[in-house]
Amino acid sequence: MKRILITGSNGLLGQKLAELLLPRQGVEVLATSRGENKLAERLPTLPFRSMDVTKPEQVEQVISEFRPTHLIHTAAMTNVDQCENDHAGALLLNRDAVQYLVGACEKYDVHLVHVSTDFIFDGADGPYDEEAIGNPVNFYGETKLQAEEIVKQASCKWAILRTVLVYGVAHDYGRTNIVLWVRDSLQAGKVIKVVTDQLRTPTLAEDLAMGCWLAVEKDAEGIFHISGSEMMSPYEMAMQVAEFFALDNSLIDKADSSTFTQPAKRPARTGFYIRKAETQLGYHPHTFLQGIQMVAEQAAQAAP
């Protein structure tokens, strides 16, 4: 029996994990997040506890009572510009909370699966494999790299799963994703500027959730890159979205990142080699076109 505790279950990845794990045989899941359970109506049988990962006493209480075999840590401050503007908040959620979780995992012999990011890299020579050396160009990446170092020093079993540009549809979740943003903008007749000088391997949220489960199922240890397999610019992604929905791609203007004024610098070329995850975990991601189709279907189901 796998007893899996999810942090950040109200977020995009957390929701996909709850949906994936709840019906599985031989799995007992506990969803945790700060505040109320956003999945209460959609998954009424989902066990949920309110837990703020920045409060070590709450972490200790929930883990000591549930006694998970595995903990999948998805909670983070992932808004890159917010991290740049709020260093203290970013450090608390992205670094200090990991220290609290590691401490509890060590105490109760829990296998920690920690979700990290391509933004620990500078983007000078992507795509990256698991052995590449981190060198972040923004504060978000710095906090996530510090968290990785904490996990690597842990005496419990651990796996770090890095990912890239996650997209998908979540219930009652404020942030949009590149597929729906492009679709909705073009449907409204808006001209959008999309960068051509950044490269990523975009990741469907369902694929990342499956990668997390495979790491748990196989009791995997070490670092794994979990993303899509196609290296694309956001402009190329936008053009695929326009084609899928049969929308006017002349509304998509090419831009380079120097034309955007954002608090945080973005790495130019990241993306991942995912061969290790494919061979050791049995991970196989959807194509970006398949991901667009899934997002379109889910968005249609969620529409009022």
Quick one: pLDDT band at residue 261, thresholds 50, 70, 90?
confident
Residue 162 pLDDT greater than 80, yes or no = yes
Q: Which tens digit of pLDDT belongs to each residue from 168-226?
A: 999 876 677 899 999 999 999 999 999 999 999 999 999 999 999 999 999 999 999 99
Query: Cβ distance 147 to 114 under 8 Å?
Result: yes
| 3-state SS string for the chain | CEEEEEECCCCHHHHHHHHHHCCCCCEEEEEEECCCCCCCCCCCCCCEEECCCCCHHHHHHHHHHHCCCEEEECCCCCCHHHHHHCHHHHHHHHHHHHHHHHHHHHHCCCEEEEEEEHHHCCCCCCCECCCCCCCCCCHHHHHHHHHHHHHHCCCCCEEEEEECCEECCCCCCCCCCHHHHHHHHHHCCCCEEEECCCEECCEEHHHHHHHHHHHHHCCCCEEEECCCCCCECHHHHHHHHHHHCCCCHHHEEEECHHHCCCCCCCCCECCECCHHHHHHHCCCCCCHHHHHHHHHHHHHHHCC
pLDDT at 111: 99
pLDDT of residue 240: 98
Q: In 3D, which of 178, 184, 222, 183 has the Cα closest to residue 200?
A: 178
Per-residue model confidence (pLDDT) at position 260: 86
Place of tokens 């959807």: 286
pLDDT band at 21 (very low <50, low <70, confident <90, very high): very high
Q: Supply the pLDDT for residue 250.
A: 98
Mean pLDDT computed over every residue of the chain: 96
Q: Is the pTM here over 0.95, yes or no?
A: yes
Closest CA to 212 of 66, 20, 43: 20
pLDDT at residue 174, rounded to an integer: 66
N residues, the chain? 304
- Do the beta carbons of residue 156 and residue 110 sit within 8 Å? yes
**What local confidence, expressed as pLDDT, does residue 173 receive?**
65
- Across the range 31-44, mean pLDDT stands at 95
Question: Across residues 45-72, what is the average pLDDT?
Answer: 98
Angle at 268 between CA 120 and CA 190, to 5 degrees: 115
pLDDT tens, position by position, 113-129: 999 999 999 999 999 99
pLDDT confidence of 273, banded at 50, 70, 90? very high
Domain ranges of the chain: 2-170+203-229+270-286
Confidence of residue 112 (pLDDT cuts 50, 70, 90): very high
> For residue range 123-151, what is the model confidence (pLDDT) as tens digits?
999 999 999 999 999 999 999 999 999 99
CA distances 220 to 107, 111, 211, 216, 270, Å, are 20, 9, 11, 7, 24
Percent of the chain with pLDDT over 70: 99
Over residues 154-178, the mean pLDDT reads 91
- 2-170+203-229+270-286 CATH: 3.40.50.720
Q: What is the pLDDT of residue 301?
A: 86
| Tokens 């590691």, located at residue | 102
